[in-house]
Amino acid sequence: MHLICPECRTDGVTGSWSFLTGQYRCSNCGYVGSFVIEMDDENYQKYREEQQDSKSED
């Protein structure tokens, strides 16, 4: 399972860092919130490929 940050779109999210608040924290951009994108390995791999494709179009 991968947790994707909705702000910077990386998997820098460090899981639930507080059971009291149920929030997640991104170590990449510092995002803190209860919403993250959850992906299994297969979807994550496709996601990364799509990210690379969109970058190459720039």
- Within 8 A by CB and 6+ apart from 50, the residues are none
Judged by beta carbon, residue 3 or residue 8, the one nearer Zn ion is: 8
Q: Which stretch binds Zn ion (CB under 5 A): 14-22, 28-36, 39-47, 50-58?
A: 28-36
Question: By the 8 A CB rule, do 39 and 28 touch?
Answer: no
Based on the shown chain and the rule CB under 5 A, indicate whether residue 7 belongs to the binding site for Zn ion: yes
* Cα–Cα dist 55/23, whole Å: 30
Based on the shown chain and the rule CB under 5 A, indicate whether residue 3 belongs to the binding site for Zn ion: no
Q: Which stretch binds Zn ion (CB under 5 A): 21-29, 32-40, 41-49, 50-58?
A: 21-29
